[in-house]
């Protein structure tokens, strides 16, 4: 196992669940933790929303003992508002707080938050400094390589964040302009690792044990964060852990197990969010769980019409019988 030190927090393992809006909620975080995620980071929450006592922001920040160690993630672009939000969020007792400097979504970056912060390295430092000053827990940063190919500045921003007191940095190896393709740029992650003395967590295109080892060996990063590689595949953490521990290659689970995990996942969703919201959100997760299965295209059409757990269980049986 690897040892990751985030301030005074010591974490054993290899890979964490990356923060993903609309995905990394309590139900999914708990599942990934069961499968060996070393720690989890919740969905990003608006700093401004927190200061306005927004109910949705409160839901995004809630953490349970079964998903720890766990962090909350804040986004915004005003240092004082970010610091105020961090203090208010302490009632949820996060193990550390992550600052979002990587979200490419127009509604976030278009308002100056997320990846747009990469365009203003000085502001990145001011935000980290303001948050560290008031925070009783470590403060970390998740960033991209830059805004676009003409402004790849992750090394500069990482150094500034380190100087401002950040305890660790996660680098998603793409610019904002690249969104989620082409393949991740591991050269930049490697260069950031060389440039700072705090832990660097590599993120992007880690989907199994071999890609995890490749990221670690090529970049020299201290840990891994898995995002899209876990969609419909919470067991990816077990695959990574087994491979990095002793070279064991774990195959994808049989369809019966995958469908059982899917149903359990959706039942958790409905338990925590209510049937109406849970079933609505279940549709995207179900589409990920059946990806690659025979007849997946036609099953996706059925998924769009699912309105109950019973219907989901019927679909799971049909998927199993189709193989």
Q: Which pLDDT tens digit goes with each residue over 195-212?
A: 999 999 999 999 999 999
- Count CA atoms within 13 Å of residue 253 on its CB side: 20
Closest C-alpha among 154, 42, 172 to residue 98:
42
Structure token digits, residue 1: 């196992």
- Looking at residue 56, its pLDDT comes to 86
The answer to whether residues 24 and 18 touch, using CB atoms and an 8 Å cutoff, is: yes
Q: What is the pLDDT of residue 53?
A: 86
Question: What is the model's pLDDT at position 309?
Answer: 95
Domain 2-246 listed as CATH 3.20.20.70: yes
Report the alpha-carbon distance of residue 114 to residue 102 in Å, rounded: 5
Given the residues 32, 103, 124, 221, the one annotated as active site: 103
pTM of the model: 0.97
Q: Is 141 exposed, middle or buried (0-12, 13-18, 19+ CB in 10 A)?
A: buried
Neighbours of 263 (CB within 10 A): 19
270 tagged catalytic: no
Stretch (H or E) spanning 188: helix 186-195
What are the domain boundaries of the chain?
2-246, 255-321
Compute the distance between CA of residue 321 and CA of residue 117 in angstroms, rounded to an integer. 49
Q: How confident is the model at residue 176, as a pLDDT?
A: 96
Residue ranges of the chain with pLDDT lower than 50? none
Q: Across-strand partners of 11?
A: 4
Per-residue pLDDT reduced to its tens digit, 58-107: 889 999 999 999 999 999 999 999 999 999 999 999 999 999 999 999 99
What ranges in 37-153 are assigned the alpha helix state H? 47-51, 55-61, 79-89, 106-109, 121-134
What top-level class would CATH report for the domain 255-321?
Answer: mainly alpha
- Nearest one of 134, 141, 96, 138 to 118, comparing CA atoms: 141
Cα 315 from Cα 297, distance rounded (Å):
13
Q: Is residue 161 a contact partner of residue 169, using CB atoms and an 8 Å limit? A: yes
């Amino acid at each position: 196992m690897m040892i990751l030190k985030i301030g005074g927090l010591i974490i054993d393992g290899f890979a964490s669940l990356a923060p993903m809006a609309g995905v990394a909620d309590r139900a999914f975080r708990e599942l990934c933790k069961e499968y060996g995620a070393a720690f989890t980071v919740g969905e990003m929450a608006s700093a401004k929303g927190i200061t306005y006592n927004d109910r949705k922001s409160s839901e995004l920040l809630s953490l349970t003992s079964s998903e720890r160690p766990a962090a909350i993630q804040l986004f915004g672009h005003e240092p004082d508002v970010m610091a105020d939000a961090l203090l208010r969020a302490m009632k949820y007792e996060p193990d550390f707080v992550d600052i979002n400097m990587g979200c490419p979504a127009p509604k976030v970056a278009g308002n100056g938050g997320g990846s747009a912060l990469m365009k203003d390295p000085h502001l990145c430092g001011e935000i980290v400094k303001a948050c560290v000053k008031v925070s009783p827990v470590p403060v970390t940063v998740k960033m991209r390589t830059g805004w676009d190919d003409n402004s790849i500045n992750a090394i500069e921003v990482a150094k500034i964040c380190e100087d401002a007191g950040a305890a660790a940095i996660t680098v998603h190896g793409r610019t904002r302009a690249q969104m989620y393709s082409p393949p991740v740029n591991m050269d930049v992650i490697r260069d950031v690792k060389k440039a700072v003395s705090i832990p660097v967590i590599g993120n992007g295109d880690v989907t199994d044990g071999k890609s995890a080892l490749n990221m670690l060996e090529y970049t020299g990063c201290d840990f891994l964060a898995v995002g899209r590689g876990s969609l419909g595949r919470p067991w990816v953490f077990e695959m990574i852990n087994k491979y990095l521990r002793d070279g064991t290659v774990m195959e994808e689970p049989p369809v019966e197990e995958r469908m059982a995990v899917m149903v359990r996942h959706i039942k958790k969703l409905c338990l925590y969010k209510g049937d109406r919201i849970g079933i609505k959100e279940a549709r995207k997760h179900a589409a990920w769980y059946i990806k690659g299965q025979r007849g997946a295209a036609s099953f996706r059409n059925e998924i769009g019409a699912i309105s109950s757990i019973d219907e989901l269980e019927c679909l799971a049986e049909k998927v199993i019988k189709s193989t």
